[in-house]
Amino acid sequence: MRSPLIDFSLQTLSTRVILTLITCVFGLSNVYADQISQQVFVSVYDSNNVAVSSISANTQFYVIASSISSLPIYINTTGSCSVQNLGDIGSGSGVYFAVLSGTSIGSCNLFASVKGDIYHDSAITSLTLPVIGLSQTITFGTAPTIVAGGIGTVSATGGASGNPVIFSSNTPNICTTSGQNGNGVAGITPGACIIAANQAGTTSYYAAPQVTQSFSITASQNQTISFGSAPFIFVGNIGTVSATSTSGLPVSYSSLTPSICTVFGSSVTGITPGSCTIAADQSGNFNYNAAVQVTQSITINKLGQAIDVISFSPSTLTLGGITTVTGISSSGLAVTFSSATPGICTVSGNTVTSIAAGTCTIAADQAGNTIYSAAMQVTQNICLLNLVPGWNLVGNSSAQLFVSNAFGNPSNVSTVWKWENTGNNANITYPAWAFYTPTLADGGQAYAASKGYDFLTTINGGEGFWVNAIAAFSASMPSEGLEVFSAYFKYGANPFFPLPSGWSLISVGDNPTPRIFANAIALTQTVSPAVAATSLTTLWAWDSSSTNWYFYAPSLDNAGTLTNYITSKGYLDFTAKGKTLDPTTGFWVNHP
């Protein structure tokens, strides 16, 4: 039965060859020609009793050798190994044991030989085993914290060869190494510093694989960015953003919402309405780290638009008649119309229909779209007066009225009168009355001159006037032009109509109550709308149907005695009757 040990390159030598080898190499003698041929078996094992075909440097392995004769076996080596013969493992067993050690990386030549005796010839077996070096690894320590211009130290643990770990920089433009084994690191400029670590091998150890450690070289100072006030930007318009860094270095901008806004330099252009987000960055330099990005939210607003003064064609409106209203928006979008006084007039599309005498107020709107915001509503009055026989106190709150056109029918009108505080007629002492009558061929011009009156040809917006009607009739007032509002009569409101001291006969287009009118013309506003300014002494409006006066006095209003006073005098109460100073009402004001 062959030994279970692994047999490596066994050689059985003939008697005559052995005679030569043993005699030359080992000095053997007493060889006989009729001796029995024998073999030597040899195997190598590691500490776990596993057969090996190579050995490692600086590591013990075990050699087991045997022969068929049980004669002593001698184990020797050459090359990168050494052996210690331990002899027979048991008395007369014929199995011999030795300790084999790799001394350096290379090749180990193992020889097992047996001397012959009178019965057996000599034999030798050789085995060549590679001697493998030991591996080693490098492990970096904690990365240092280094600023540009500063220094730090790297560390690493190497393998068991005993050779030092040597450090070098793979990024010399960012950092350099110096000092013992290169473990001193100097920061050159902010960036990623990569340090390589190497450990050389020995006769027993291979060189360790190179490893690297990456860490940041930071600037010596941090910086922050602060935005200024956000600009107000409309679609299609440009605004400027501003931001500063604590380093004083320039800030760059970018748009995080390019579908809403774009940015070039510091100029932001609105693309479409929405929330525009602008980012500000500063990349840093040798002394400063990059700043943390900050953002600013800017509202890209819709474009504004306005509606031009609306107009009517024809510009007058008769009872039961129609007129066409038009208006244009600055955006070019279509304007829609509605009636704010459906009891006086109605609107269908662009057609206005009169259904009762009074002030017809037409509202114009434009709702906007994705680009334009809704326009502020604009209103325009077109007035139809119902005059009764006798005295009618009416007002013109809009465009200039030509008296002869409106009241030139002698069948309807006896006279027309307007109170003028000032005028251009050098022959008249103002204040004075201006007079017109359709019953005279010259309109009453000669008669007016003979009486010291001014001749009445026009009635301007903001003026009240009297009409002495012969018969009931309807008269259309101007529908175009600037509406005269209450505040236009405030002192210092030039180029409009500041009220003089004394009596004035006027008209307004904003439809106020007497108290609102008094507060509108006051130089100093009251503490509450419920308090009337004493900007006028009294205010009077005529009701032609009852031939009586409406009366108002701020002082009595504030005292809470106005109603009692009106009742005691038999006047009409504005509040009780729901009467306002509408655009067709002329009224007297006694201004202090």
* Residues 373-430: tens digit of each pLDDT: 999 999 888 888 889 999 999 999 888 899 999 999 999 999 999 999 999 999 999 9
Q: Which CATH superfamily is domain 15-132 in?
A: Macroglobulin (MG2) domain (2.60.40.1930)
- Hey, what are 120's tokens? 């057996």
Q: What pLDDT band is residue 492 in, cutting at 50, 70 and 90?
A: low
* Residues 360-373: tens digit of each pLDDT: 889 999 999 989 99
Given a cut of 50, is residue 56 above it in pLDDT? yes
Q: How far apart are CA 273 and CA 269, in angstroms?
A: 11
Which DSSP symbol is given to 259? T
pLDDT at res. 15: 35
Domain boundaries, the chain: 15-132, 139-218, 227-285+292-300, 311-383, 388-476, 486-591
Q: What pLDDT band is residue 189 in, cutting at 50, 70 and 90?
A: confident
Q: What pLDDT band is residue 69 in, cutting at 50, 70 and 90?
A: confident
First to last CA, the chain: 147
pLDDT at res. 557: 97
Contact (Cβ atoms closer than 8 angstroms) between residue 394 and residue 465: yes
Q: What percent of the chain has pLDDT over 70?
A: 92
pLDDT at res. 92: 59
Q: How far apart are CA 118 and CA 32, in angstroms?
A: 7
Q: What's this model's pTM, rounded to 2 decimal places?
A: 0.52
Burial of 159 (0-12, 13-18, 19+ CB in 10 A): buried
Q: How far apart are CA 13 and CA 123, in angstroms?
A: 6
Q: What pLDDT band is residue 570 in, cutting at 50, 70 and 90?
A: very high
* Residues 71-124: tens digit of each pLDDT: 888 999 999 999 998 887 655 567 889 999 999 999 999 999 988 888 888 889
Contact (Cβ atoms closer than 8 angstroms) between residue 55 and residue 108: yes
Same fold, 139-218 and 227-285+292-300: yes
pLDDT at res. 313: 87
Buried b (16+ CB within 10 A) or exposed e, 347-362: beeeebebbebbbbbb
Architecture of the domain made up of 139-218 = Sandwich (2.60)
Q: What pLDDT band is residue 12 in, cutting at 50, 70 and 90?
A: very low
Dihedral, CA of residue 486, residue 492, residue 496 and residue 498, to nearest 10: 60
pLDDT at res. 573: 97
Write the Ramachandran bin of 188: left for phi over 0, alpha for psi from -120 to 50, otherwise beta.
alpha
pLDDT at res. 245: 96
* Residues 318-353: tens digit of each pLDDT: 888 899 999 999 999 999 999 999 999 999 999 999
Average pLDDT of span 280-295:
91
Strand 413-420 and strand 463-469: the pairing is antiparallel
Contact (Cβ atoms closer than 8 angstroms) between residue 287 and residue 220: yes
pLDDT at res. 17: 35
Given a cut of 70, is residue 250 above it in pLDDT? yes
* Residues 455-478: tens digit of each pLDDT: 999 999 999 999 999 999 888 887
Q: What is the CATH number of domain 227-285+292-300?
A: 2.60.40.1080
Answer whether CATH 2.170.130.10 is correct for domain 311-383: no
pLDDT at res. 508: 93
Average pLDDT of span 531-552:
95
Burial of 398 (0-12, 13-18, 19+ CB in 10 A): buried
Average pLDDT of span 180-185:
93
Average pLDDT of span 509-523:
93
Average pLDDT of span 246-273:
96
Given a cut of 70, is residue 156 above it in pLDDT? yes
